[in-house]
Amino acid sequence: MRLSPQARQIIRNTSREVFGEAATVKLFGSRIDDSLKGGDIDLLIECPESVEEVGLKTARLAARLQRQLGDQKIDVLCIWPGSPLSPAHKDAIKTGIAL
């Protein structure tokens, strides 16, 4: 996993601030492969309840993380029980690593 322990902690804490204490976060995509370089930070937020204003919250999380981690591309997906799952969501669930 190509994220420092400090970056992982920042992501966990900020995700809980935006989505609530029960939210969990997984890293997926190229950053889980230690043999690669670069790449954006792809995050999957899993919430136990439905999320209102999910677009606003995912944008808010990405913006806060960019301020704390530096100017880099951060993509955020969010799921909850009963939410529709795209192929990207399914891939994130299957390959993601909990932070």
Q: Mean per-residue pLDDT for 9-32? A: 95
Q: Which of 26, 29, 20, 9 is nearest to 47 (CA)?
A: 20
- Give me the count of residues in the chain: 99
Q: Please state, for a pLDDT cut of 90, what percent of the chain lies above it.
A: 82
CA–CA separation, 17 and 56 (whole Å): 14
Beta-strand pair 41-46/24-28 = antiparallel
> Where would I find the beta strands (DSSP E) of 19-83?
24-28, 41-46, 74-79
Question: What is the pLDDT, as a whole number, of residue 92?
Answer: 96
Q: At 20, is the pLDDT very low, low, confident or very high (cuts 50, 70, 90)?
A: very high
Q: At 2, is the pLDDT very low, low, confident or very high (cuts 50, 70, 90)?
A: confident
Looking at the chain, list the stretches that DSSP marks H as alpha helix, in order from N- to C-terminal side: 5-19, 54-69, 87-95
Place of tokens 């969990």: 24
Q: Whole-number mean pLDDT of the chain? A: 93
Question: What is the pLDDT, as a whole number, of residue 37?
Answer: 78
Place of tokens 């996993």: 1
